[in-house]
Chain A
């Protein structure tokens, strides 16, 4: 049976891995290639590589950094940031990405999801959603969490699945960087809406948070950045712990 996945996320800005709190207060962390290699050896099941300011600044993702990572890391690699067209898909896939994460680009033009799924297959199209509670409802935000779209997150998830997204990454802006645990109520709301794999993001602070996450069987993977980058949680220790608690993980 397939394992639950542990996915470190490398937020990249100007060719360096950075980490923010609540999508703000950006801090410099490491070289992406060194960090990716380290994670691959440490037992990460997959890596996500976001160019966090590409969409905001309206430029293309740095393919040179991506190529450098992809030529040395032999686990699945998802890439996002500034993906707005099929040409962008083409560029990152040819630079070594296995999956492409779309967020603001899909909000601007939802047909990008269906066009990409048709050309590259659904397994290649990851719909990344930045979601925040507004007036008791889950709402989708664009441009790295900067712009409220007013779109209902449940409807957007359902539409994404219908259009051909193969996975959803749900980033809770409310719990991002706070390290108080994943946003289980938000994840449950989306998990009951779609049947494609769901990756939880935002809020991991300790090993126990992942156990709580995987107790909800609709979750396929847990994504985190800060706690892995700072070595607060070691991926191998985390997986040992999860396996001891009966979670199926790759060791």
Chain B
């Protein structure tokens, strides 16, 4: 059973549909007991970093997510990945979960002005370090991104990147090998995304 953390942000329809489509049991929950009983956890997220952290804290799930990350595979998607880092400077400085060293910065500050922000659309995911998460993937597969901020100062943890005026952190993993983050949306990345989700279900 995969538990998708429900802390009041984001549209979870596609995520749960895609997990079910590849034959995985999943539930959307904010219940601590259900999260503790699940085999693995997905932390979704859209919107602003500060709001999302505040909601996670208010729902009493911040510590739960930190505890879970030590004992079972955890996948953060999009903003859910950004929350895994130490901090973000989206609309002021905000502390993250601190599960993976690094920080989240605006793309606009580091890329050419002619490039549009958000970085929205299909981009190639280049594998920079091999990992079981790529069990069913090839190098350079197309994945779908929608984001205006990206993770930096985390090079030791990067498994996959995409180029968009700067090298965008696409896929990260913690030292423990249990915590993954995907900046792109695997649930919106067609077959390539479904294969990454399948690999996560086998971590």
Residues of A with Cβ closer than 8 Å to B?
1-3, 5, 40, 45, 67, 70-72, 74-76, 93-98, 120-123, 166-167, 195-197, 220, 250
| Contact of B121 (CB < 8 Å), options: A2, A97, A98 | A2
Q: Let me know if B142 and A250 touch, CB within 8 A.
A: yes
Instruction: Identify the stretch in B58-66, B67-75, B91-99, B186-194 within 8 Å (CB) of chain A at 4 or more residues.
Output: B186-194
| Contact of A3 (CB < 8 Å), options: B118, B123, B146, B194 | B123
Most interface-central of A40, A76, A96 (chain B CB within 10 A) = A76
Q: B119 at the A/B interface (Cβ < 8 Å)?
A: yes
Main secondary structure of the interface of B (DSSP, over half): mixed
Per the bound structure, the CA–CA distance linking A74 and B119 in Å amounts to 19
Per the bound structure, the CA–CA distance linking A166 and B193 in Å amounts to 24
Q: Let me know if B14 and A96 touch, CB within 8 A.
A: yes
Size band of the interface chain B makes with A: 20 to 34
> Across the two chains, which residue of chain B brings its CB closest to A75?
B190
Q: Let me know if A74 and B121 touch, CB within 8 A.
A: no
- Knowing A3-B123, A5-B121, say if A195 contacts B116 (CB, 8 Å): yes
- Knowing A96-B17, A98-B14, say if A75 contacts B188 (CB, 8 Å): yes
What residues of B have a CB within 8 angstroms of the CB of A71 in the complex?
Answer: 13, 17, 20-21
Per the bound structure, the CA–CA distance linking A166 and B118 in Å amounts to 9
Per the bound structure, the CA–CA distance linking A35 and B23 in Å amounts to 23
Most interface-central of B20, B121, B144 (chain A CB within 10 A) = B121
> Across the two chains, which residue of chain A brings its CB closest to B141?
A250
> Across the two chains, which residue of chain B brings its CB closest to A124?
B46
Most interface-central of A71, A195, A197, A220 (chain B CB within 10 A) = A71
What residues of B have a CB within 8 angstroms of the CB of A70 in the complex?
Answer: 13-14, 17
